[in-house]
Amino acid sequence: MTAHKLFASIPLDGLSPELARAARWIEAHARDVALHSMRECARRALVTPATLSRLAPALGFSGFDAIKTLCQESFTAQGGYSGRAEVLQASARHSENWLALLNATQCANTSSVAGLNPVPPIEAAADAMLKAAHVHFLGLRASHGLALYLNYSYGLLASNGVLVQGLGGTLIDQIGELGRDDLLLVISFAPYTRQTVEAVAQALKQGVTLVVLTDSALSPIARSAAHALLFRAESSSYFHSMVGALALAEALLAAVAVRGGRKVLARLQSRQDRLDSSDAYWKKQTRKPAAARTSTSSTRN
C-alpha cells in the first residue's frame, strides 16, 4: 500500500518538514498504522504523537483515527480474511470496546434493510415466489445456512419450495432442470462464489425468474435479476456479517405471509396441526403436588 493510493486526492506539498516526514512514514508503513495505536506509530516513526495529531487535519482528516480507519480498510481489502483477523486482534489489544463496535455494525446492517429496500420491491418478489411452479433456494458456502433457513421457513407458508444442495457435484444438473415457470432465489455477497455466479448465468439462459439477496446492485448475480433485494454485510470482524442478510430474509418471508392470503393461512394451520400431532416441540411436564401424589397412592393401596 502506498501514500499515492492512501492519500490519492490529497496534496502532500506544503507540509512542514516534520509533518512531511510523518506522512512519508505512513506511506511506507500503512500496515503498522492499521494495527497499532497512534502512540506506537509515533514511536516507530520517530515523531511525537502530537505530530500525528497535527498531520490528520493537515491532510483533511478529522483525526488520526480517520487515517487509521482508511489504512485498516485498505489493509483488509488486500489481506483477505487473515488481514481482517489481524486488524480485529489489534483492535482488541488496544481497546475493550471491540465487541461494542462489532455490535454497532451489526445493528447498522440490520437497520439498513428498510432503507435499501422499499416495500413494493419486496412484495413484488414475494408475489413472484407465490406464483412460481417451484421456488428453488440456492446459497453456497456461508450463504448455505441462510438458504436452508429460507427453504424451511418458506415451507411453512407454501408447498412449492425446494432446497438446491448440489450434492456430489450435481449443482449444474439441478439448475438445468429448472423451467420458465420456476423461480431461483439466490443469496450471495462479496467475494462471490464462482459456482453461484455460474448457476445464475445458466438459469437466466433457461428463462428462469431470478430473485437475489445480495450486497450490491453491481453484484454479478444482481445485474439481470428480475428482483434484486439488498443487504449490508459490513463487519469489524474477520468475516462479513450475516445479520443484514437474515433481516432481509425475514422481511421477504413476512411479505410472503402478507401477500399469500387464505392459502398461506391454511398451509400454516396444516403444518401447525402436523407438528402438534407429532409432538415436535418439547413441553415441560408439570409435576403433581405432593399431597395429590399421596392421595393417589393411598387410593391404590
Q: Which residues pair with 211 in a beta bridge?
A: 185, 227
Query: CATH code at 36?
Result: 1.10.10.10
33 assigned to some structural domain: yes
296 assigned to some structural domain: no
User: How many helices (H) does the chain have, and how many strands (E)?
Assistant: 14, 5
Stronger pLDDT, 137 or 62, i.e. the higher one: 137
Specify whether 123 is located in the same domain as 216. Answer: yes
Specify whether 179 is located in the same domain as 259. Answer: yes
Instruction: Select from 95, 130, 153 the last residue of a domain.
Output: 95
Specify whether 147 is located in the same domain as 227. Answer: yes
89 assigned to some structural domain: yes
185 assigned to some structural domain: yes
294 assigned to some structural domain: no
Task: Give 291's pLDDT tier (boundaries 50, 70, 90).
Answer: low
57 assigned to some structural domain: yes
Specify whether 166 is located in the same domain as 231. Answer: yes
Specify whether 262 is located in the same domain as 142. Answer: yes
Specify whether 149 is located in the same domain as 85. Answer: no
The tens digit of pLDDT for each residue in 55-85 reads 888 887 888 888 877 776 666 555 565 665 5
Specify whether 117 is located in the same domain as 255. Answer: yes
Instruction: Select from 48, 69, 95 the last residue of a domain.
Output: 95
Kindly report the number of other CB atoms within 10 A of residue 222's CB atom. Answer: 21
Specify whether 135 is located in the same domain as 206. Answer: yes
Instruction: Select from 95, 124, 141 the last residue of a domain.
Output: 95
What number is the average pLDDT over the span 276-301? 68
Q: Which residues pair with 184 in a beta bridge?
A: 136, 210
The tens digit of pLDDT for each residue in 206-265 reads 999 999 999 999 899 998 999 999 999 877 666 688 999 999 999 999 999 999 999 999
- Can you tell me the distance from the alpha carbon of 267 to that of 253, in angstroms, rounded to the nearest whole number? 14
DSSP annotation of 133: S
Identify the domain containing residue 48 by its residue range. Answer: 3-95
293 assigned to some structural domain: no
- Can you tell me the distance from the alpha carbon of 94 to that of 85, in angstroms, rounded to the nearest whole number? 14
Specify whether 226 is located in the same domain as 139. Answer: yes
pLDDT at 167: 87
Look at the chain and report how many structural domains it folds into.
Answer: 2
pLDDT at 61: 83
Specify whether 89 is located in the same domain as 117. Answer: no
The tens digit of pLDDT for each residue in 187-210 reads 999 889 999 999 999 999 999 999
Specify whether 76 is located in the same domain as 117. Answer: no
- Can you tell me the distance from the alpha carbon of 23 to that of 239, in angstroms, rounded to the nearest whole number? 31
Specify whether 131 is located in the same domain as 273. Answer: yes
DSSP annotation of 219: S
